[in-house]
Chains A and B, each alone.
Chain A
Amino acid sequence: MIENTRTFDHACGVILIIGIAAVCFPIYYAFIAASMPPGSERDAAKLIPGPALFQNLEAAWINRDLGRQLFNSLIMAAGITVGKLFVSILSAFAIVYFRFRFRMIAFYAIFITLMLPIEVRIGPTYSVAANILDPVISLSHVTGLNALISMILGRDFSISAEWSLLDSYPGLILPLIASATGTFLFRQFFMTIPPELCEAAQLDGAGPIRFLWSILLPMSRTPLAALSVIVFIYGWNQYLWPLLITTDPAMTTALIGIAKSLPSSDAEAPWSITMAGALIVTFPPVLVVLVLQRWFVRGLVESEK
């Protein structure tokens, strides 16, 4: 900085290079592994790329129906992103720009979902996904609706209905939208917007929806982009949920497909093809981080603080 600290700077430079090498080495080694002809993965330890990268990428793509699974991953990640942006913008708008009776209750109800990840409530969430009408049926028991209808009809009555989200896109997407991160990001952002803007819009005769659509949304481009990047990666990398609710290989995500293709025994398994598949699955989110780096860093720092 100000004084001359050459030795210290040199030491820092060396540590930085070692650090970068350590961070990047696992993926470099994956490239090496993915380029080895199946059966000669042992040679990967020589750290020299082999000739079979493209054959292996192709084999990984065909073998496991990876194209279809990548499509599922894309639908899931994009669905979670769009859904989360949609519900969180609307609820942040309601909480910041309206005064209504249950406002604080709504605020705290959203607030407590902030840090309870799906892994914690996984069993019951699965039951809901297996029959999404379960809450309705249980409520009809509790509220005595069944008893009432039985009385009116003069015979036994109980609502039974089934609507399963297993092996479906809504099943992959909806439960992962249920969290507060986005709502708080938008709430904070809306609160930084000068109140005069809202007053001016109202003076000019704009209603709430018009204000949201023509003024608030265009102003929110930055937090929108930042949150999209974070949520897309979050959705793409989901593991436990898709593992549980998809049994049909054609409905599962690419990540689950690759994890399931992992050789489990020492029998000469095609590691090179699994590694090629791992590279394919990792490529889209890495591309998003690299291309949208500015938004990514903002989204990360702002959505979680």
Chain B
Amino acid sequence: MDGSSTFNGHKMLPYILLAPQAIILIVFFFWPAGQAVKEAFFITDPFGQSSQFVAFENFHYLLGNAEYYEAIYNSVAFAVAVTVLSMGTAFVLAFIVDRTTRGKMLTRTLLIWPYAVAPAIAGILWLFLFHPTYGAIANLLISAGWDWNPLLNGTQAFWLVVGAAAWKQISYNFVFFLAGFQAIPKSLLEAAAIDGAGVIRRTVSIVLPLMAPTTFFLITMNVVYAFFETFGLIDAITSGGPGGATMTLVYRVYLDGFKSHDIGGSAAQSVILMVIVGGLTFIQFAYIEKRISYR
């Protein structure tokens, strides 16, 4: 943070420069976040006319509610499945693209464009692909004797949402993994090869350890993605159904707050989510700090 030269004798200017950012952050970030914490301790009637302080009642209710545990379970299972599938696929593809010499630009382009597809659109594409009436893949599954209908079957709907979310995230992971592979000094690999290490040995002993920071960073980012950015995907194709099988924590915040008008309950869920994200951020930065000190 230090080391750059500074301007002296401008007392007001830095505050003026910070003002736009500060105003937006206060109005649209700190104020709402504070309100969420406050509302979590009140029960407010659906029209927002009156509210009553209830201490931890909202949290108590949530944590005694089987549906909330189902949403926690769904979110965690969803995050793990999306992260593993998406990162696994992207890692293999980036590994191969890094090795290839011909057509690198074209393969890279073909693999990164889905980044631009909105999660909601990814959901629509996958829903059509797996739609029991119209989908090409659904047709294959059905003719293989599978009773395939994600519109009615909760487990199938869950995996459909996982597939769509993981597909959309492959590009993101691919970009980072490829950058990670390209940052590995080729001389290191050549030296190992001269010493008689084969492809597999080089991968296990050199490439994988050097990819650990990227992998760790991506795990956090994928979990955040699966928790928060997939709202549109779920809303567009399953709306949390069938039978709550794709109901995640964020979807419940939305449903309770904007459909059931349970403002206190929704705010309590927001607070729980803030704690989760805060924890993830902390882990992320604690790890990055450590990595910097290694250099």
Specify which chain A residues have a CB less than 8 angstroms from the CB of B242 in the assembled complex. none
Specify which chain A residues have a CB less than 8 angstroms from the CB of B119 in the assembled complex. 237, 239
A140: shortest Cβ distance to chain B, in Å?
Answer: 14
Specify which chain B residues have a CB less than 8 angstroms from the CB of A109 in the assembled complex. 22, 25, 30
Given known A1-B189, A16-B93, contact A282–B280 (CB-CB < 8 A) = no
Which among A103, A239, A293, A297 is the interface contact of B179 at CB below 8 angstroms?
A: A297
Q: Which of B5, B28, B122, B284 has most A Cβ within 10 Å?
A: B28
Specify which chain A residues have a CB less than 8 angstroms from the CB of B171 in the assembled complex. 23
In A1-31, which residues have CB < 8 Å from any B CB?
1-3, 5, 8-9, 12-13, 15-16, 19-20, 23-27, 29-30
Q: Are B25 and A178 in contact (CB under 8 A)?
A: yes
Q: Which of B4, B122, B128, B281 has most A Cβ within 10 Å?
A: B128
In A188-243, which residues have CB < 8 Å from any B CB?
190-191, 193, 195-196, 198-199, 202, 207-208, 211, 233, 236-237, 239-240, 243
The answer to whether A251 has its CB under 8 Å from any CB of chain B is no
Q: Are A278 and B121 in contact (CB under 8 A)?
A: yes
B15: shortest Cβ distance to chain A, in Å?
Answer: 7
Q: Are A90 and B36 in contact (CB under 8 A)?
A: no
List 14 additional contacts besides A1-B189, A240-B235; criterion CB under 8 Å.
A2-B193, A12-B96, A16-B97, A19-B92, A115-B284, A117-B224, A119-B231, A119-B250, A121-B29, A128-B31, A175-B28, A195-B5, A211-B7, A289-B113
The answer to whether B6 has its CB under 8 Å from any CB of chain A is yes
Q: Nearest chain-A residue to B214 (Cβ)? A: A305
Q: Are B24 and A174 in contact (CB under 8 A)?
A: yes
Q: Are A127 and B35 in contact (CB under 8 A)?
A: yes
A interface residue numbers (CB < 8 A to B): 1-3, 5, 8-9, 12-13, 15-16, 19-20, 23-27, 29-30, 33, 41-42, 44-45, 47, 86-88, 90-91, 93-100, 102-103, 106, 109-110, 112-117, 119-128, 132, 135, 174-175, 177-179, 183, 190-191, 193, 195-196, 198-199, 202, 207-208, 211, 233, 236-237, 239-240, 243-244, 255, 258-259, 262, 266, 271, 274-275, 278, 281-282, 285-286, 288-290, 293, 296-297, 300-301, 304-305
Specify which chain B residues have a CB less than 8 angstroms from the CB of A41 in the assembled complex. 134
Q: Are B232 and A282 in contact (CB under 8 A)?
A: no
Q: Are B4 and A208 in contact (CB under 8 A)?
A: no
Looking at chain B's contact residues, is the secondary structure mostly helix, strand, loop, or mixed?
A: helix
The answer to whether B286 has its CB under 8 Å from any CB of chain A is no
Given known A24-B110, A178-B29, A282-B117, contact A191–B6 (CB-CB < 8 A) = no
Q: Are A12 and B100 in contact (CB under 8 A)?
A: yes
Specify which chain A residues have a CB less than 8 angstroms from the CB of B32 in the assembled complex. 121, 123-125, 127-128
The answer to whether B68 has its CB under 8 Å from any CB of chain A is no
Q: Are A239 and B24 in contact (CB under 8 A)?
A: no
Q: Are A301 and B33 in contact (CB under 8 A)?
A: no
Q: Nearest chain-B residue to A16 (Cβ)? A: B96
Specify which chain A residues have a CB less than 8 angstroms from the CB of B113 in the assembled complex. 286, 289-290
In B110-144, which residues have CB < 8 Å from any A CB?
110-122, 124-129, 133-136, 139
Q: Which of B7, B27, B115, B224 has most A Cβ within 10 Å?
A: B7
